[in-house]
């Protein structure tokens, strides 16, 4: 009997926090119009910082805009295309522009990093930065507000917002 009691106490110590969490219905709407529906096994999201912990109930979150994560292959490709865009060969330059436009919104973060680099602007021989600026404007005008944001934004049910930047 004593062993059973110890087993029950140990078991309940480890499982009680899991059972105490209330499952929450979650819907994720992705950029490609697909949708995931399911239950979250956790009812709160905790953001721990050096200033303290912010506890947000999942059920109270109405919208989350997620940024794209790091993609080293895409970064290498965009950097190469930018180099090709600065080529003195018109055909190579035009093909690079077409390829960047095909990448669309995913390339904008990497292009913006290039445009923000003052040293690269000073060595620009063939108007690459001007062309890239026009390409970004074209991509951004084609993309809606919901497809691209420079900041991540979480909108809570009372219309409070949390903003921040993402790293690429």
> pLDDT per residue over 15-70, tens digit each?
444 445 567 677 766 655 667 777 777 677 777 778 888 888 877 776 665 555 56
Residues 77 and 60 in one domain: no
Strands 61-65 and 24-29: unpaired
Mean pLDDT of 114-133: 79
On whether residue 147 sits in a domain, the answer given is no
Work out how many domains the chain is built from and give that number.
Answer: 2
Residues 135 and 77 in one domain: yes
Share of the chain above pLDDT 70, in %: 55
Residues 77 and 138 in one domain: yes
Mean pLDDT of 126-135: 86
Mean pLDDT of 93-121: 86
Distance CA(32)–CA(11), nearest Å, equals 43
Residue 59 lies in domain:
2-67+152-157
Mean pLDDT of 75-102: 92
On whether residue 164 sits in a domain, the answer given is no
pLDDT at 114 exceeding the cut of 70: yes
Residues 77 and 107 in one domain: yes
Residues 111 and 79 in one domain: yes
Residues 76 and 25 in one domain: no
On whether residue 124 sits in a domain, the answer given is yes
On whether residue 163 sits in a domain, the answer given is no
Residues 53 and 79 in one domain: no
Residues 61 and 76 in one domain: no
On whether residue 162 sits in a domain, the answer given is no
On whether residue 127 sits in a domain, the answer given is yes
Share of the chain above pLDDT 90, in %: 14
Residues 18 and 58 in one domain: yes
Residues 89 and 33 in one domain: no
Q: How confident is the model at residue 1 (pLDDT cuts 50, 70, 90)?
A: very low
Q: What is the pLDDT of residue 94?
A: 94
Q: What is the pLDDT of residue 32?
A: 56
On whether residue 101 sits in a domain, the answer given is yes
Q: What is the pLDDT of residue 113?
A: 85
pLDDT at 124 exceeding the cut of 90: no
On whether residue 85 sits in a domain, the answer given is yes
Q: What is the pLDDT of residue 129?
A: 87
Q: What is the pLDDT of residue 81?
A: 95
Residues 89 and 136 in one domain: yes
pLDDT at 162 exceeding the cut of 80: no
């Amino acid at each position: 009997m004593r062993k059973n009691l110890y087993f029950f106490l140990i078991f309940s110590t480890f499982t009680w926090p899991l059972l105490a969490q209330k499952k929450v219905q979650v819907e994720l709407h992705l950029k490609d119009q697909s949708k995931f529906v399911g239950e979250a096994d956790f009812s709160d999201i905790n953001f721990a910082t050096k200033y303290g912990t912010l506890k947000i109930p999942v059920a109270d979150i109405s919208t989350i805009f997620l940024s794209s994560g790091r993609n080293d292959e895409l970064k290498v490709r965009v950097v190469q295309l930018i180099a090709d865009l600065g080529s003195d060969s018109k055909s190579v330059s035009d093909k690079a522009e077409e390829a960047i436009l095909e990448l669309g919104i995913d390339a904008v973060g990497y292009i913006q990093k290039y445009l923000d680099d003052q040293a690269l602007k000073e060595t620009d021989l063939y108007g690459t930065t001007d062309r890239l600026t026009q390409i970004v404007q074209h991509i951004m005008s084609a993309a809606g507000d919901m497809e691209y944001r420079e900041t991540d934004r979480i909108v809570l049910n009372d219309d409070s917002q949390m903003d921040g930047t993402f790293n690429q």
